Each structure stands twice: as structure tokens, then as C-alpha cells.
């Protein structure tokens, strides 16, 4: 039986997620509902994406018993509030990144999912096996180009670091940054030290035009590259050999680069739900909590404060 999805928020990423799901076998996934704060937007979205049901509120979706999983595609400032609505309603949830605006709210979501015995996962990508071919891993470099920092897109680099270091908590985190007058981080450089003399270096900037690669270097030499865009890669270079992982053609134009790759998250969710499991093996909840704690430490060191920190 197909996994029945409810999409929450009729915005750009929900559009792309809907298109990505359509690249999967129709017998495995079906989008049953789109819920928006506006019934007109929901109906427009439903018509464009051939979704049978449109709701003018998130609550209607939360009350629909015939949904297997809800995809939270709303603005990240709403992930915690709306996520709690669905988790308390007993719904399984796949949440867009970032999980929530700070660590406390991430931990709220995780605790509520466990209390209600429902599945919870944040969107991510997985390249765990890549690191194991690097010999004794020593250093990894990550950088993101401009304009993503304000959407907590640094998390892509940090998510990658946790994958490469298998969810290990760093022994130390050193962050240096410069802020805009608005308090938004303009550029941040982070070094993290892990066990066995291993290091990670990350650079994010909305001022400097950085490449968007991730590099893994081990004692056995040649660098392993995740060729940019590293947050949605389709090419890896391992031992100087480039391998491409082409994405299927989307049925509609996409808003974001390679977001047909969101199909992999949907596939991971289905596999986990079919086994009755409550979290992803590729992006475990413990990693999501650790990621939020690392981001909190970086924000503290560079002086970035969100309104949600005092709510
Ligand atoms: N994984 C990835 O590659 C990407 C992830 N993202 C993430 O997806 C999320 C949404 O981004 P994107 O689709 O670009 O944003 P959009 O502005 O296109 O859509 C956000 C949607 O959130 C809903 N919403 C709920 N509350 C509010 C509010 N107070 N103000 C504004 N919108 C609200 C609206 O849906 P409605 O009114 O219909 O209810 C709106 O359409 C973000 O968290 C972003 O980080 C974005 C791009 C790529
Ligand atoms: O998560 C994201 O992916 C990369 C960019 O598209 C950014 O705007 C978005 O939030």
C-alpha cells in the first residue's frame, strides 16, 4: 500500500517535494492532502500537483486519520509550533530543515515525538559510506556560498560533519564570525576537533563568494570531494575517480537546485515506517539534537541571537 503523505504549507519547497515524490513509484507514495493557511492557495497547489484534497488550515490535516506522514514545508520559524501540533495529534512527521530555531525547541519536538510514539525526522542527505574509504580520516573542509546563512543553512555543513564523524560529539568548537548591523551572521569560520586527532573546518559567508564543496582528507591521501552544491550533490570524487549520481527529470520546473533529490528522504521515511520504526537511520534524532547543540554553541561564540531564544 502506498505511503499517504500530507503536505503542510503551499510554498516553494513543498512544490519541489511534491515533484520529487512523483519521481518515485506511484505504488509506493501518494500525496493525499495539501494544507495551507489559505484555502485558495491550497486549491491552486492541489490542482497544479493533482492532489485530491486541499485544506485551508493545518489543523484539518492534523485531524485527518488517513495520513501516514506529514511533510512540514513551512517557514522555519513555524517548524516548532506546527510540528508540535502534528506530533501531539499522533502524526508521523518529516520536517524541513532546520528542525527548529534553537536547541531547546528541537529537544521539545524530539521529546514530544517519543512521548506520542510517532516517527520524526529532519530532511537531510546521507554520504556516510564515503568517509570510511578515506583511511584514517584527518580533516574535512566545508563551505557554503552566500545568502544561505540566514536560513540556518550552515546546518548542511554541520550535518555533513556529523555524518563523516558518525555522530560523534566534537571535543572542541572554535567559531569566529562577523555580523551585519542587523545581527545576521555575515561570515563564520568554525573549527571542530574530534577524537583521534581528527578535525573539521567549515566556512559560511553571505559576503564572500565561496565554492560549495565538501572535502574529506585522510592519512591514505587523495582527497575525497563532494562536488558543489554539497548540500544536494550528484557527483563524488574518490581517489581521483568521479562518479555521478544523476537525478530523474522532474515533471514540473523546480524552485531549488537538485531538489528532485528530496525523493531519497521520502524513500527513507517509507522504509522506516514499513518497519514500524520511529526515526531515520540516516539522520537519527540524536544527531539532530547534537547538531542543534553545535549550532547553539557557534551562535553563542559569534553572537547571533534569535527572537525564539527568549520565547
Ligand atoms: N531542503 C532544501 O533543499 C530546502 C529547504 N528549504 C526550507 O523550507 C522551508 C520553506 O522554505 P520556502 O519553501 O522557500 O519558503 P516559502 O515562503 O516559499 O514557503 C513557506 C510557507 O510557509 C507557510 N507559512 C506558515 N507560516 C508562515 C509565516 N508566518 N510566514 C510565511 N509563511 C508561512 C506558508 O504556507 P501557507 O501560507 O500555504 O500555509 C508559506 O508558503 C524553510 O524552512 C527552508 O529552510 C527551503 C529551500 C530548500
Ligand atoms: O535549504 C536550502 O537549500 C539551499 C538554498 O536553496 C537555500 O535557500 C535553502 O534554504
Predicted pLDDT of residue 96: 95
Q: Taking the C-alpha atoms of 58, 250, 20 and 271 in order, what is their torsion angle to the nearest 10 degrees?
A: 150
Q: Which residue has the higher pLDDT, 193 or 233?
A: 193
> What is the 13 CA–ligand 1 centroid distance (Å)?
7
Q: Beta strand pairing status for 185-194 and 198-205?
A: antiparallel
> What is the 135 CA–ligand 2 centroid distance (Å)?
32
Predicted pLDDT of residue 241: 87
> What is the 204 CA–ligand 2 centroid distance (Å)?
13
* Nearest atom (ligand 2) to Cα of 151: 10
User: Rounded mean pLDDT of the chain?
Assistant: 89
3-state secondary structure the chain: CCEEEEEECCCHHHHHHHHHHCCCCCCCEEEEEEECCCHHHHHHHHHHHCCCEEECCHHHHHCCCCCCEEEECCCHHHHHHHHHHHHHCCCCEEECCCCCCCHHHHHHHHHHHHHCCCCEEECCCCCHHHHHCCCCEEEEEEEECCCCHHHCCHHHHHHHHHHHCCCCCCCEEEEEEEECCCCCEEEEEEEEEECCCEEEEEEEECCCCCCCCEEEEECCEEEEEECCCCCCCCEEEECCEEEECCCCCCCCCCCCCCHHHHHHHHHHHHHHHHCCCCCCCCCCHHHHHHHHHHHHHHHHHHCCCCHHHHC
Predicted pLDDT of residue 154: 74
Of 17, 79, 151, 261, the one to substitute when testing ligand 2's pocket (max ligand atoms within 8 A of C-beta) is 151
From atom 14 of ligand 1, which residue's Cα is the shortest distance away? 12
| Ligand 2 proximity of 231 Cβ (cutoff 6 Å) | yes
User: How far is 36 from 18, CA to CA, in rounded Å?
Assistant: 14
Predicted pLDDT of residue 140: 56
Overall average pLDDT of the 235-243 stretch: 86
From atom 5 of ligand 2, which residue's Cα is the shortest distance away? 148
Q: What is the pLDDT of residues 122-143, one digit of tens each?
A: 987 545 434 444 444 545 555 5
Predicted pLDDT of residue 152: 55
From residue 16, alpha-carbon distances to 11, 13, 98, 225, 252 in Å are: 9, 5, 17, 26, 9
* Nearest atom (ligand 2) to Cα of 229: 4
Q: What is the pLDDT of residues 205-229, one digit of tens each?
A: 888 888 888 888 887 766 777 777 8
Overall average pLDDT of the 280-293 stretch: 94
| Ligand 1 proximity of 166 Cβ (cutoff 6 Å) | no
* Residue 109 binned pLDDT confidence (cut-offs 50, 70, 90): very high
| Ligand 2 proximity of 71 Cβ (cutoff 6 Å) | no
- Are 281 and 158 in contact by the 8 Å Cβ rule? The answer is no
From atom 8 of ligand 2, which residue's Cα is the shortest distance away? 148
* Residue 260 binned pLDDT confidence (cut-offs 50, 70, 90): very high
Q: What pTM was estimated for this model as a whole? A: 0.93
Predicted pLDDT of residue 129: 38
Answer yes or no: is the ipTM higher than 0.95: yes
Overall average pLDDT of the 234-245 stretch: 87
Of 95, 153, 255, the one to substitute when testing ligand 2's pocket (max ligand atoms within 8 A of C-beta) is 153
Helix axes 262-274, 12-21, angle to 10 degrees: 60
| Ligand 1 proximity of 256 Cβ (cutoff 6 Å) | yes
First to last CA, the chain: 42
> What is the 275 CA–ligand 1 centroid distance (Å)?
30
Lowest mean pLDDT among 36-45, 133-142, 177-186, 239-248: 133-142
Q: What is the pLDDT of residues 54-103, one digit of tens each?
A: 999 999 999 999 999 999 999 999 999 999 999 999 999 999 999 999 99
From atom 23 of ligand 1, which residue's Cα is the shortest distance away? 74
* Residue 153 binned pLDDT confidence (cut-offs 50, 70, 90): low
Overall average pLDDT of the 282-288 stretch: 93
Predicted pLDDT of residue 220: 74
Which ligand is located closest to the Cα atom of residue 212?
2
Predicted pLDDT of residue 311: 83
Predicted pLDDT of residue 226: 74
> What is the 86 CA–ligand 1 centroid distance (Å)?
17
User: How far is 36 from 116, CA to CA, in rounded Å?
Assistant: 24
Amino acid at each position: 500500500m502506498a505511503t499517504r503523505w500530507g503536505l503542510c504549507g503551499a510554498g516553494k519547497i513543498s512544490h519541489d517535494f511534491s515533484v520529487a515524490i512523483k519521481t518515485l513509484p506511484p505504488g509506493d507514495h501518494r500525496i493525499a492532502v495539501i494544507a495551507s493557511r489559505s484555502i485558495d492557495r491550497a486549491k491552486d497547489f492541489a490542482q497544479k500537483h493533482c492532489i485530491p484534497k486541499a485544506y485551508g488550515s493545518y489543523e484539518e490535516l492534523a485531524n485527518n486519520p488517513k495520513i501516514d506522514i506529514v511533510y512540514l514545508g513551512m517557514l522555519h520559524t513555524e517548524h516548532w509550533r506546527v510540528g508540535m501540533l502534528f506530533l501531539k495529534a499522533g502524526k508521523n512527521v518529516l520536517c524541513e530543515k532546520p528542525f527548529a530555531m534553537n536547541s531547546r525547541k528541537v529537544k521539545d519536538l524530539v521529546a514530544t515525538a517519543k512521548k506520542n510514539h510517532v516517527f520524526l525526522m529532519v530532511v537531510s542527505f546521507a554520504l556516510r559510506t564515503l568517509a570510511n574509504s578515506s583511511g584514517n580520516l584527518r580533516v574535512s573542509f566545508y563551505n557554503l556560498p552566500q545568502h544561505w546563512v540566514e536560513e540556518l543553512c550552515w546546518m548542511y555543513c554541520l550535518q555533513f560533519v556529523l555524518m563523516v564523524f558518525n555522530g560523534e560529539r566534537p571535543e572542541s568548537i572554535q567559531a569566529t564570525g562577523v555580523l551585519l548591523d542587523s545581527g545576521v551572521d555575515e561570515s563564520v569560520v568554525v573549527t571542530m576537533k574530534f577524537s583521534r586527532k581528527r578535525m573539521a573546518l567549515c566556512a559560511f559567508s553571505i559576503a564572500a563568494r565561496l565554492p560549495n564543496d565538501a572535502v574529506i582528507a585522510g592519512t591514505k591521501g587523495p582527497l575525497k570531494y563532494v562536488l558543489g552544491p554539497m548540500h544536494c550533490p550528484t557527483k563524488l570524487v574518490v581517489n581521483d575517480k568521479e562518479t555521478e549520481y544523476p537525478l530523474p527529470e522532474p515533471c514540473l520546473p523546480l524552485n531549488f537546485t537538485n531538489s528532485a533529490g528530496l525523493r531519497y528522504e521520502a524513500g527513507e521515511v517509507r522504509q522506516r515506517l514499513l518497519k514500524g520504526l520511529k526515526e531515520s537511520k540516516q539522520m537519527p534524532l540524536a544527531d539532530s539534537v547534537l547538531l542543534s547543540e553545535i549550532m547553539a554553541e557557534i551562535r553563542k561564540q559569534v553572537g547571533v541571537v534569535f527572537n525564539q531564544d527568549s520565547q
